[in-house]
Amino acid sequence: MSRLFAGLVLMGVLALAGVLGGCASGSPGSDQAQAGAAGEGDPWEPFNRTMYKVNTELDRYTLRPAAEAYSRVVPDPVRTGIHNILTNLAYPVQLANDMLEGKPRRAGDTLVRFVVNSTVGVLGAVDVAQHLGYPDHSSDFGLTLALWGVSGSPYLFLPVLGPGNPRDSFGRIVDIAGDPFGYIGQGTGVVVARWTRLGVNLIDQRAQYLGVFSQIRRTALDPYATFRSLYRQHRSAEIESVRADHARTVPAWFPVSAEPSDHSSSN
């Protein structure tokens, strides 16, 4: 565990070094353009390909068998419950990012989801809010930075963290550092719970993609380039969907009167 942590810290430093270099040359909205041409915006390709190989080997002996065992042993509904609890724990950070992105409706959705699912949904295990009309969405500090105009290049592949770029890696560090659950409570129990959450999170995330990853590794002629393409497209679609979300702050069920109120004239 401590070795994993050291690895994460090292990656963080690498990512930070990258973000300083990346910001200077970055221009807003360049994600979309780069999704088009393979190989463009990947000046660190030799390094990235090495890291990709390291990650593939690491994955083969650690995360993948763990995720496979997890999927085999733990029944489907329990896994969904665990996934929901982990998602729910990330909502305080998501709420902060929704607000930083200047999207009040999304922030409201996240707040309602956190309150409803944490209580009625039994600590987040059951996604009650979804059925009440508060759908989930993605939000992280990388997305926030993207909306603020920070470029998503150059491409950066890191072991464990996978495909990304300095902006998104930096965003991830901020998200981890800003997570209130990282500060609340003390004692051995809390420390164990924190590490358990991190470990289960890694396995849960990996288990989500078991089928997809193995299929890509089997069918793609250049899996590295395929993952790069998929990541960039998916990320720019996410960014665009946040940018284009101008949903009303007032929810659909709220009674909006057709006539303007005339409080002032009644005096």
Partner 1 sequence: MALRRSVLAIIALGLALAPAAGFAQGSGESAAGFIQRMGQQLVSIIDGHGSTAEKQAALERIVDSDVDVSGIARFCLGRYWRVATPAQQQQYETLFRKVLMISIDGKLGDYQGVRFTVGRTVPRAEGQVVATTITAPNKPPTEIDWVVRNIDGSWKIVDVIAEGTSLRLTQRDDYDSFIAGHGQSVQALIDALRRQVSQNA
Q: Contact residues for partner 1 (CB under 8 A)?
A: 35-39, 76, 211, 219-222, 224-226, 228-230, 233-234, 236-238, 240-241
* Total residues found in the chain within this entry: 267
Of residues 45 and 179, the one with the C-beta less far from partner 1: 45
Q: Give min distance, CB of 190 to partner 1, in A.
A: 32
Residue 23 or 220 having the CB closest to partner 1: 220
Tokens of 95: 């709420």
141: its two tokens? 């500090």
CB of 70 to partner 1, least distance (A): 16
Residue 19: CB minimum distance to partner 1, A: 24
Query: At closest approach, how far in Å is the CB of 233 from partner 1?
Result: 4
Distance, in Å, from the CA atom of 45 to the CA atom of 155, rounded to the nearest integer, reads 8
Q: Which is nearer to partner 1, 79 or 197 (CB)?
A: 79
C-beta closer to partner 1: residue 77 or 260: 77
Q: Evaluate whether 114 touches 95 at the Cβ level (below 8 Å).
A: yes
Q: Considering the complex, what minimum distance in angstroms separates the CB of residue 254 from partner 1?
A: 25
Residue 34 · residue 41 · CB < 8 Å: yes
CB nearer partner 1, residue 12 or residue 224:
224
Nearer residue to partner 1 within complex by CB, 28 or 36? 36
Cβ count within 10 A of residue 196: 10
Q: Minimum CB separation from partner 1 for residue 234, in Å?
A: 5
- Helix H or strand E encompassing 20: helix 2-25
Q: How many CB atoms lie within 10 A of CB 28?
A: 12
Closer to partner 1 by CB, 21 or 36: give it. 36
Burial class (CB in 10 A: 0-12, 13-18, 19+), 92: middle
At 180, list the tokens.
């209130």
Integer angstrom CA distances of residue 103 from 40, 97, 99, 201: 32, 9, 6, 27
Report how far residue 158's alpha carbon sits from residue 150's, in angstroms, rounded to the nearest whole number: 20
Nearest approach in angstroms of CB 263 to partner 1 is 40
